Amino acid sequence: MGIMSSSILLVDDDTELCESLTRLLAMDEIAITSAHNIATGKSELKSKRYDLVVLDVMLPDGDGRVLLKKIRDRSDVPVIMLTARGDAGDRIAGLESGADDYIPKPFVPGELVARIRAVLRRRVGGKGDTLLAGDLKIEVSKRRVLRDGEEVVLTAAEFDILLALVRRSGECVTRDELTEQVLGRPVGVTDRAIDNHISSLRRKLGAQAGDTDRIRSIRHLGYCYTGLAHA
């Protein structure tokens, strides 16, 4: 199955943007439900399961990151945050709170549509295999990670980054490759999204046996998963 019939919750008080995205994604048979404040967004999330959430930081009844935290307490659904241009603090805080990616406003609707399509393709495109990497077991089709038999809850972006690194364990995977493969866009000069996701992965997964680094930084290039992996 492709990305058709997917459903998206868009939480943004910009009604023109909501209408524009609804029209653009209708061509892919992707249904958008619009909520214009946090309260309505919460209600929608309680009543229905969505494949993706697009969430603005600035909403009439508060900070969108409050809703993001509630989402992450109960779900690993991918979340794309919409932030004010140039406000790096908002973007970093959003990523650290569990957002998968961000887009600074103002933006061309087509850019957001491309990001949405990329996220949805990754969600439905996993292979039905299992990877073992030391104390980790990665169930690709279920999008689940176990460490020593205990599940580690990851966001969609964190899972995709870990999978990309483990599939090429022992090799350096560049930031450019990770950004394009996982986030579906070119990396920006000041883009720290991948680095923030890596920091979160390190915190959640911890070190390997012998207290060795699980994910090693390759200066000015990218990252390397240091353990051996096999199917």
Q: Are residues 85 and 116 in the same domain?
A: yes
Q: Are residues 112 and 188 in the same domain?
A: no
In a domain, 39, yes or no: yes
| pLDDT at residue number 185 | 81
Q: What is the CATH number of the domain that holds 45?
A: 3.40.50.2300
Residue that is last in its domain, among 124, 140, 161 = 124
| Digit-coded pLDDT (tens) for 75-117 | 889 999 998 765 677 777 778 888 988 888 888 888 888 888 8
Instruction: Report the candidate in 127, 111, 221 with the shortest Cα–Cα distance to residue 176.
Output: 221
Q: Are residues 36 and 139 in the same domain?
A: no
| pLDDT at residue number 190 | 66
- Total domains in the chain come to 2
| pLDDT at residue number 12 | 96
Instruction: Report the candidate in 17, 63, 74, 4 with the shortest Cα–Cα distance to residue 38.
Output: 63
Q: Are residues 51 and 140 in the same domain?
A: no
Q: Are residues 212 and 156 in the same domain?
A: yes
Q: Are residues 119 and 22 in the same domain?
A: yes
- Both tokens of residue 80? 């794309």
In a domain, 198, yes or no: yes
Q: Are residues 48 and 138 in the same domain?
A: no
Residue that is last in its domain, among 88, 104, 124 = 124
For residue 146, the enclosing domain spans 130-230
| pLDDT at residue number 112 | 87
- By CB neighbour count within 10 A (0-12 exposed, 13-18 middle, 19+ buried), where does 170 fall? exposed
| Digit-coded pLDDT (tens) for 181-194 | 888 787 776 678 89
| pLDDT at residue number 224 | 94
Q: Are residues 178 and 209 in the same domain?
A: yes
CA distance 26 to 215: 40
* Amino acid making up residue 60: P
pTM of the full structure: 0.69
Q: Are residues 103 and 151 in the same domain?
A: no
| pLDDT at residue number 1 | 42
Name residue 79's beta-bridge partners. Answer: 53
* Amino acid making up residue 143: R
Q: Are residues 77 and 135 in the same domain?
A: no
In a domain, 169, yes or no: yes
- What's the CA dihedral at 132, 120, 222, 207 to 10 degrees? -40
In a domain, 2, yes or no: no
| pLDDT at residue number 162 | 95
What DSSP state is assigned to residue 4? T
Q: What is the CATH number of the domain that holds 176?
A: 1.10.10.10
Q: Return the biggest CA–CA distance within the chain.
A: 55
Backbone torsions φ then ψ of 152, nearest 5 degrees: -110, 120
Those residues of the chain that have pLDDT short of 50 are 1
- Cα distances from 214 to residues 12, 93, 165, 179, in angstroms, run 38, 24, 10, 20
CA distance 146 to 132: 10
| pLDDT at residue number 125 | 53
Q: Are residues 142 and 86 in the same domain?
A: no
